[in-house]
Structure 1
Amino acid sequence: MIIITGANGGLGRLITERLLERVPSQRIGVSVRDPEKARELEDRGVRVRRGDFGDPASLADAFEGARQVLVVSTDSTGADAVHHHRTAVEAAAAAGAERILYTSHMGSNPSSPFAPMRDHAATEAALRESGVPFTSLRNGFYASSAAMLLGHALETGELAAPEDGPVAWTAHADLAEAAALALTGEGLDGTTPTLTGPEALDLADIAAIATRLTGREVRRVVVSDADYRASLLARGLPAAGADLLLGLFAASRQGQFTPVDPTLGRLLGRPTTALAEFLRTTITPTG
């Protein structure tokens, strides 16, 4: 039995779909907070059980009989995220899992200015402490975040943000396929090399791609951290969210998301998805 957490989320559902292409559905279980949203998977033969990282008893039931458990990282940050991840790791070990897998990040670093990277580093420490063989999938920075950072630039013609650094943007679909391969015996043990897309691009590069795809000029405009934070607050973003985003830019300036590694492409047996290819599916030409 292979258990996947967070299968109602974007990455978790993609991993489950890729896994269904490789193993019988009866060998797959999903741990989700809302089983009703996963009924379509249940109809296909997947075992669906409620599992909430904030409720250890529910995880004991969701992980029952697991040979492997894939813990998909939560969208929370800070102490709550680390506590939830540690709870899931401990529950997987208690269930007798022979391997625990975790969707980490290429920037995992206990001293990163980008808070989620500190959370990933703490979770990797919990994996090492568990005594169970593990695989920490150090995923490249999600390409979907590049689309998010474009924001209103497609309408205004200006991509205004603090100074940044190149990022190895990586498609969810590629990472989901890699996770499914790791769950079916591809030998990714311990902490993996960074699993990234084919190139590292900064926001100026993204503005140039957007210009080509839309037929309308998008200029990269560098603003100060303080001005960017003020603009976020003016748009209603809570202070904690604004500070989180500023940490992302600070970490990118340090080169924490820059390394490009061939491991993902070798694992997939094909070229990884370029950012321009990904953005072509998410933004619409205007010319």
Structure 2
Amino acid sequence: MIIVTGATGRLGRQIVGKLLESVPAETIGVSVREPGKAAAFAGRGVRVRAGDFTEPSTLDHAFEGADQVLLISAAIRGPRAAEASRAAVDAAVRAGASRVLYTSHQAASPDSLFDPGRQHAAIEKHLAEQNVAYTALRHGFYTSTFEHYVPAALRSGEFRLPADGPVSWTAHADLVEADVAALTKPGLFDGVSPPLTAPGLLDFADVASILSELTGRTITRVVVDDEEWKATVIAQGMPDAAAEFTLGMFRAARAGQFAVTHPALEDLLGRPATSARAVLEEILPGG
């Protein structure tokens, strides 16, 4: 049985939907914090069980009978993220899974300036220490991040953000295909995968130019001092910890830590990866 965690989230929901196109429903199980939200999958014959990375005792039942477990990294900030994901790895091993897969990040590194990069590196290390086959799927930076910044830029005509750098923006849908391939094709991406990224590198100045072309309006990139930006967003209601977390993304980007591309994703897809421009077109009103 293939167990997918976080199956009611943005990534997990799409992965299970794609899996259902290629394997029987009765061979899929999902581990979710709120089983009621996975009722649609249960109605299609998928096994739905409650499981929470932060309550490891729930995972033994959720992972029962697992052959493969795909651990979608916990949506938690800071060291607790690694602690929760580490507990999930241990539960998958206890359940007897022959292979554990984990959604990591292309910038996974103990030295990353982006907190998730450090947490992903810790989990990759923990996976390598287990006596089980594993795959760390190093996802490119999600294009869904644009959704946090584009609406404000459209309202004001400006991207008022800290200094950044080039990022290999990659669409969820493409990574879903890669993750499902890893689950259904034995031997694909053993160990740590290559960076699973789209081929292009864009910074927010590039994004502003694309939006200007798409909307026929001038969208300007304005670089704001880190502390000025932080003070502004905190005054607007963002918690201090969240602001500092977000600044880590900009610091890592301008240090070149997201300026990584690799052909592995397009090779697997057998087609060009979804472009950032295409994603921006979808985000725009009426897209």
Scaled to the shorter chain, the TM-score interval is over 0.9
Q: CA deviation at 1:83?
A: 1.0
Q: Distance in 1 between the 2:278 and 2:144 partners?
A: 12
Question: Could you tell me whether the CA contact under 8 Å between 1:169 and 1:197 is conserved in 2?
Answer: yes
Question: Could you tell me whether the CA contact under 8 Å between 2:51 and 2:62 is conserved in 1?
Answer: yes
Letter in 1 for 2:51: G
Cα deviation per residue 1:233-280 (whole Å; 9 max; x = unaligned)? 111111111111111111001111111111001111111000001111
Partner of 2:254: 253
SS at match of 2:129: helix
Q: Distance in 1 between the 2:55 and 2:236 partners?
A: 35
Q: Please list, as runs of the form range in 1=range in 2, the aligned pairs for 1:172-191 lying within 5 A after superposition.
A: 172-185=172-185, 187-191=188-192
Letter in 1 for 2:260: P
Q: Distance in 1 between the 2:29 and 2:15 partners?
A: 12
Q: Which of 245-254 and 276-285 deviates more?
A: 276-285
Partner of 1:137: 137
Partner of 2:166: 166
SS at match of 1:101: strand
Q: CA deviation at 1:122?
A: 0.7
Q: CA deviation at 1:57?
A: 2.1
Q: Distance in 2 between the 1:224 and 1:126 partners?
A: 37
Q: Distance in 1 between the 2:39 and 2:69 partners?
A: 20
Identity of aligned residues (%): 51
Q: Does the alignment pair 1:231 with 2:243?
A: no
Q: Distance in 1 between the 2:34 and 2:131 partners?
A: 30
Q: Distance in 1 between the 2:233 and 2:112 partners?
A: 22
Cα deviation per residue 1:206-258 (whole Å; 9 max; x = unaligned)? 00111112221100011111111111111111111111111111100111111
Partner of 1:50: 50
Question: Could you tell me whether the CA contact under 8 Å between 1:213 and 1:284 is conserved in 2?
Answer: no
Letter in 1 for 2:118: R
Question: Could you tell me whether the CA contact under 8 Å between 1:56 and 1:91 is conserved in 2?
Answer: yes
Q: Please list, as runs of the form range in 1=range in 2, the aligned pairs for 1:1-287 lying within 5 A after superposition.
A: 1-185=1-185, 187-284=188-285
SS at match of 1:80: helix
SS at match of 1:199: coil
Question: Could you tell me whether the CA contact under 8 Å between 2:53 and 2:74 is conserved in 1?
Answer: no
Q: Distance in 2 between the 1:250 and 1:203 partners?
A: 13
Q: Distance in 1 between the 2:31 and 2:68 partners?
A: 13
Q: Distance in 2 between the 1:166 and 1:251 partners?
A: 10
What 5-or-longer segments of structure 2 have no aligned partner? none
Question: Could you tell me whether the CA contact under 8 Å between 1:214 and 1:285 is conserved in 2?
Answer: no
SS at match of 1:130: coil
Q: CA deviation at 1:68?
A: 0.1
Cα deviation per residue 1:18-38 (whole Å; 9 max; x = unaligned)? 111110111000000000000
TM-score (norm 2): 0.97
SS at match of 1:281: helix
SS at match of 2:149: helix
Letter in 2 for 1:216: R
In the TM superposition, structure 1's runs of 4+ consecutive aligned residues that sit over 6 Å from their partners are none
Letter in 2 for 1:196: T
Q: Distance in 2 between the 1:212 and 1:284 partners?
A: 15
From the superposition, tell whether residues 247 and 151 of structure 1 become closer, same or farther in structure 2 (CA, over 3 Å).
farther
Q: Distance in 2 between the 1:110 and 1:76 partners?
A: 18
Q: Distance in 2 between the 1:116 and 1:56 partners?
A: 21
Q: CA deviation at 1:151?
A: 4.1
Q: Distance in 1 between the 2:12 and 2:244 partners?
A: 27
Q: Distance in 1 between the 2:141 and 2:18 partners?
A: 20
Q: CA deviation at 1:55?
A: 1.9
Question: Could you tell me whether the CA contact under 8 Å between 1:215 and 1:285 is conserved in 2?
Answer: no
SS at match of 2:144: helix
SS at match of 2:283: coil
Q: Distance in 1 between the 2:203 and 2:146 partners?
A: 9
Q: CA deviation at 1:191?
A: 0.3
Q: CA deviation at 1:158?
A: 0.7
